[in-house]
Amino acid sequence: MGVTPGQVKRAFKYRFCPTDAQAAELSRTFGCVRKVYNLALAARTEAWARQERVSYSQTSAMLTAWKKTEELAFLSEVSSVPLQQTLRHLQSAFIHFFAKRAKYPRFKSRKKSRRSAEYTASAFCYRDGKLTLAKMSGPLDIVWSRPLPEAAMPSTVTVSQDSAGRWFVSLLCEDPSVRPLPATDTAVGIDVGLDHLLTLSTGEKITNPRHELRDRARLARAQRSLARKARGDGANRRKARIKVARIHARITDRRRDGLHKLTTRLVRDNQTLVIEDLSVRNMVKNRKLARAISDAAWSEFRSMLEYKAQWYGRGVIAVDRWFPSSKLCSHCGTLQDTMPLNVRRWTCGCGTTHDRDVNAAKNLLAAGLAVTVCGAGVRPQRRTPGGQSATKQKPSQREP
């Protein structure tokens, strides 16, 4: 189901260059946010051991008490809004845990956790294209790479710093430009793979760009250089670590940009999109293929496809992962007994010669359209006798 204009809240992310004073203030805020989150999680964990539950309002009262102690008086030096927001995030994490949608919340690490702080409307001022945060005398020097929606007013602002040292600000605004597209009668089946990133039921094959493979040699050199540096907080090790992080960031940025362009094209061109309900989390347990599967980013592709389809009034259907899309003849419906992964083309008894991936995409499309007619849903995930989730062997080629 699509959405009506003005109801979509969209995050617009930009890079910015803070002054030394702003960087110091934000770094203090990140540290305080992490400290409050860990203190509140520890308090709730102790209560959980006593079979008691602690609510958000109780942790908010704890925060007030912590600020009055000599040991934690530094919490009063930063804006209180990001500290309250991290308590709300912790509350959401526990709600998902109790609903069995997520694991138990974990403590935030100083070195490994994401450095971020969220500000609500009471803690920032956005006027005439300039954004000023609480406790700061001047606006942030933001690189406005694209305009915000006309007359948009951010509801929340999230400031973050990645492992490569880059600063980002994300503004959450209502975007009236997002509206359902005119309905069409086109539908497409999508089969994912490693040799080709996507194979469509139309016969189109989209090459896997293999972003990580292109920078693998460069990344390996940077990682060897980092491994030779003495452990600790030395300047040389910090420089080597940032160099590795920048290569990873470059790979991630290119991958995400490619997926955005691809998913937008598919959603705009097709009314119904049929994909396979793969369990990528279990598939990456294959040590020979884990690197290639992660580089293909099938889960991120599906996530983008689903939320863009919701934006623009399109439909995404996930077919059960145990549906034999590769072994089923899309022409006569004959099911083959076996279909090894090294077989890329095969001929059915009816005389039809199939490309393995194109045939699978056609079968997915037919199964997805049948689901819409019959009103059936996706079958629950099957379990092996040992209790672990079983997955279909999907990759079409070994990692190079």
C-beta separation of 38 from 107 below 8 A: yes
C-beta separation of 318 from 11 below 8 A: no
**Active-site position among 191, 212, 295, 320:** 191
C-beta separation of 317 from 275 below 8 A: yes
C-beta separation of 246 from 164 below 8 A: yes
Q: What are the counts of helices (DSSP H) followed by strands (DSSP E) for the chain?
A: 10, 14
Amino acid present at 395: P
Nearest by Cα to 239 from 229, 253, 249: 229
**Active-site position among 118, 175, 320, 357:** 357
**Active-site position among 118, 175, 212, 276:** 276
Catalytic site includes residue 191: yes
CB under 8 Å to 268, separation ≥6 — which residues? 181, 312
DSSP SS3 for 291: helix
Catalytic site includes residue 276: yes
CB under 8 Å to 22, separation ≥6 — which residues? 136, 138, 140
Point out the residues that are catalytic.
191, 276, 357
